[in-house]
Amino acid sequence: MKAVGVIVEYNPFHNGHAFHLQAARQASEADVVIAVMSGNFLQRGEPALVSKWHRTRMALLGGVDIVFELPYRFATQKAETFANGSVSILDAAGCEFLCFGSESGDLTSFLRTIEYLEKNQVSYNVNIKSIMNTGVSYPKALSLSFQQLADSENYLDLSKPNNILGFQYIKAIKHQKSSVRPITVQRKNANYHDEHFTSETIASATSIRKALFSTENGKESIGQFIPESTYQLLKAYFNDYGVFHQWENYWKLLQFRLLQTSPEELRNIYEIEEGLENRFLAAALVSNNFKEFMEKIKTKRYTWTRLQRTCVHLLTNTKKAEMVSDTEKATYLRLLGMTKNGKEYLNKMKSQFSLPLISKLSACKQKDILPDIKASRIYSLAVPNPLKSELLSREYKQPPIYIE
């Protein structure tokens, strides 16, 4: 059986994702779609709208056959690390293809850009350092450095978020000497960061979340942009747990963590550097909510996303030593769900997987899964009592979701 992989967050699953899955199947002629999906905290440093179990069910009902979890130490990292972990999982699971969405939609421009940068790596790195010395953030410096070196229209626009991720996916494939072959499809109608609806049927996950949180009839207002299965699962989650997760749900927990921790202890937290601990502590003393806190700590040098990721690591008390590893690759495959087709693939192929397959957490002996467990515990704290313990217990009791 031929498999195509996708790297996703599905926060939540929407019509654009359904289009991507159809395009992935068609372009690869694959029998099975395997998704590597972030857990309860995401790459932009945010809690997922609903739990990974509900997002897994969305994925399976939306056209995915197998869902593996992207471990915390990759899911909450910069694009390069995020890509390395994701690609290593798809490679270990026997995927022949990786299909990703991009603003470009042209694989040749990705390959040409990577080849150019490999030949001009020294100049590129010098430019990055010089630009960052002016106080510009690292992602912005990457884009500006490349623009200074290569102004030809034949190269990739590295200021676009999906182009950046796709660029890192292909770099990871080359770096890991993976046999996975990349395919890209152009994003339709909505851009990644769009906060407003710009199409009758396709909307970004950002605009969908904004509508959910900003209007009284939020769930009804997004119906045309998501499959009916996603709509019903969102409705069920809110009815069951009384919440859609967002940073404001965790603000008091984060504030408590900051106010009861010394600057010396904070410096051990992953991504706390260059005196950020003092800036965080000062802002925590005078902020009334998470948005206000973020506005106080934001600087030109650090992106909002980078600072949010730092807040996730503070919330989960993730130390620098926990995120350092001997390998840039994942060390296990955590199975979250499968369809009948996916189960058939697993039965045929799992003996050839290059990483251990984990389907039951209680039987897992992988020590590096502990950050995932800790993250799930913290994530559940946004849910009102007594439902909190039910959500937390699912981490241990929930078998992989199976859909016929």
As a whole number, mean pLDDT of residues 148-161 equals 77
Of residues 88 and 151, which shows the higher confidence score?
88
* pLDDT given at position 131: 86
196 is annotated as contributing to ligand binding: no
Q: What percent of the chain has pLDDT over 70?
A: 94
C-alpha closest to that of 246 among 13, 12, 57: 12
Q: Whole-model pTM?
A: 0.92
C-alpha closest to that of 140 among 117, 159, 113: 159
CA 283 to chain centre: 27
CATH fold for the domain made of 3-103+185-245+328-403: Rossmann fold (3.40.50)
C-alpha closest to that of 64 among 94, 46, 104, 37: 37
25 is annotated as contributing to ligand binding: no
Tell me the helix, strand and coil percentages in the chain, rounded to 5: 55, 10, 35
Domain boundaries, the chain: 3-103+185-245+328-403, 119-159, 247-323
pLDDT category at 152 given cuts 50, 70, 90 is low
As a whole number, mean pLDDT of residues 269-281 equals 93
154 is annotated as contributing to ligand binding: no
101 is annotated as contributing to ligand binding: yes
pLDDT tens digits for range 187-236: 765 455 554 445 567 888 888 988 888 766 656 678 889 999 999 999 99
Of residues 394 and 310, which shows the higher confidence score?
310
pLDDT tens digits for range 338-360: 999 999 999 999 999 999 999 98
Polymer length of the chain: 404
- Report in angstroms the alpha-carbon separations of 123 from 127, 131, 138, 160: 6, 12, 16, 22
223 is annotated as contributing to ligand binding: no
C-alpha closest to that of 290 among 315, 267, 265: 315
* pLDDT given at position 161: 87
CB of 376 closer than 8 Å to CB of 71? no
7 is annotated as contributing to ligand binding: yes
> Which token pair is 318?
């993730």
19 is annotated as contributing to ligand binding: yes
- List b or e across 18-52, with b for residues whose CB sees 16 or more CB atoms inside 10 angstroms: bbbbebbbeebebebbbbbbbbbbbbbbbbbbbbb
* pLDDT given at position 154: 72
189 is annotated as contributing to ligand binding: no
pLDDT category at 324 given cuts 50, 70, 90 is confident
Pairing of strands 32-38, 66-70: parallel
Sign (positive or negative) of CA dihedral 76, 403, 362, 327:
negative
As a whole number, mean pLDDT of residues 139-164 equals 80
Of residues 65 and 121, which shows the higher confidence score?
65
Query: What is the C-alpha separation between 262 and 278, in angstroms, rounded?
Result: 10
Asked if residue 386 has a cis previous peptide bond (ω within 30° of 0), the answer is yes
| Cβ contacts of 27 within 8 Å, gap of 6 or more | 4, 97, 99, 183, 185
pLDDT tens digits for range 61-119: 999 999 999 999 999 999 999 999 999 999 999 999 999 999 988 899 999 889 988 88
Query: What is the C-alpha separation between 225 and 14, in angstroms, rounded?
Result: 6
Across the chain, mean pLDDT equals 90
Of residues 395 and 288, which shows the higher confidence score?
288
As a whole number, mean pLDDT of residues 369-383 equals 93
17 is annotated as contributing to ligand binding: yes
16 is annotated as contributing to ligand binding: yes
Residue at token pair 């960061």: 193
Q: Is the pLDDT of residue 381 over 90?
A: yes
| Other Cβ atoms closer than 10 A to 331 | 18
Lowest mean pLDDT among 53-57, 148-152, 364-368, 394-398: 148-152
Phi, psi of 169 (to 5 degrees): -60, -45
15 is annotated as contributing to ligand binding: yes
pLDDT category at 143 given cuts 50, 70, 90 is confident
Pairing of strands 66-70, 333-339: antiparallel
Q: 338 by DSSP, 3-state: which?
A: strand
Lowest mean pLDDT among 117-126, 143-152, 155-164, 201-210: 143-152
* pLDDT given at position 215: 60
187 is annotated as contributing to ligand binding: yes
| Other Cβ atoms closer than 10 A to 5 | 32
Q: What percent of the chain has pLDDT over 90?
A: 66
87 is annotated as contributing to ligand binding: no
245 is annotated as contributing to ligand binding: no
133 is annotated as contributing to ligand binding: no
Helices 290-297 and 251-259: crossing angle in degrees, nearest 10, is: 50
Phi, psi of 185 (to 5 degrees): -125, 145
Lowest mean pLDDT among 154-158, 172-176, 253-257, 307-311: 154-158
pLDDT tens digits for range 22-47: 999 999 999 999 999 999 999 999 99
